[in-house]
Amino acid sequence: MAISYPRDLPTATGIANITLRAVNQTAMTMSPFTYKQQIHNHAGQRWEAEVQLPPMKYENAEEWIAWLLSLNGRAGTFLMGDPNRLTARGTLGGSPVVNGANQTGSSISIDGCSNNITGWMKAGDYIQLGAASTATLHKVLQQVDTNASGQATLDIWPNMVTAPTDGSIVVTSNTVGRWRLNSGEQDWSIDNASFYGITFACVQVIP
């Protein structure tokens, strides 16, 4: 059977440690005489991550190794979120969906939330827009309060490059985005007790 993308993470064992990095494409020029600075704020924003798996015996390690090899370096994609933040800190409620077409950039209008909720989402909560081959992972930058009609505007990072479909579901728990490996090479170590050590680096997929 042909391998399809994006792939889910293996279930053999969980992630031991993850370093998430938020990258902004911002340039700065500075006068060597006055130290005055000029900022050039470009639209590029993306997630990067470094993932470390716990030491494991070959029964579990080989599942992860096969999964990594199946990605064919940077060619394949997979779904991953923050393993320590599976639920939001906000109150939530309702069935949120995208409210309006052609939304790109750093804010998104949604509706279908519970009415008149203060702290419907908290700063730092995650949302997911799209699913599977269109999934994108975003952080909410400010507390979100809903109005009497169950509507709200979310300031998010990273920017939306592709507009989500009007009426599509806004995922607020078990959120994931699409990633690809950061290199075409993959290695793993085996110690004298036959424990495997596996790490990999990856970047957000931007269509």
Q: Encode pLDDT of 1-14 as tens digits.
A: 899 999 999 998 89
The pLDDT of residue 87: 95
Residue 59, in any domain of the structure? yes
Residues 98 and 169 reside in one and the same domain = yes
Q: Is residue 27 part of a domain?
A: yes
| 191 in the same domain as 145 | no
pLDDT of residue 45: 96
Within a domain: 11:
no
What domain range includes position 104?
94-175
User: Structural domain tally of the chain?
Assistant: 2
The secondary structure of the chain, three-state, reads CCCCCCECCCCCCCCCEEEEEEEEEEEEEECCCCCCEEEEEEEEEEEEEEEECCCECHHHHHHHHHHHHHCCCCCCCEEECCCCCCCCCCCCCEEEEECCCCCCEEEEEEEEECCCCCCCECCCCEEEECCHHHCEEEEECCCECCCCCCCEEEEEEEEECCCCCCCCEEECCCCCEEEEECCCCCCEEECCCCCEEEEEEEEECCC
Report if residue 23 sits inside a domain: yes
pLDDT of amino acid 1: 83
Q: What is the mean pLDDT of residues 130-151?
A: 98
Quote the mean pLDDT of the chain.
96
188 and 166 in a single domain? The answer is no
Residue pLDDT, tens place only, 25-35 = 988 889 888 98
* Domain harbouring 67, CATH code: 3.30.200
- For residues 171 and 184, state if they share a domain: no
112 in the same domain as 171: yes
Q: Looking at the domain assignment, is residue 86 inside a domain?
A: no
pTM of the model: 0.93
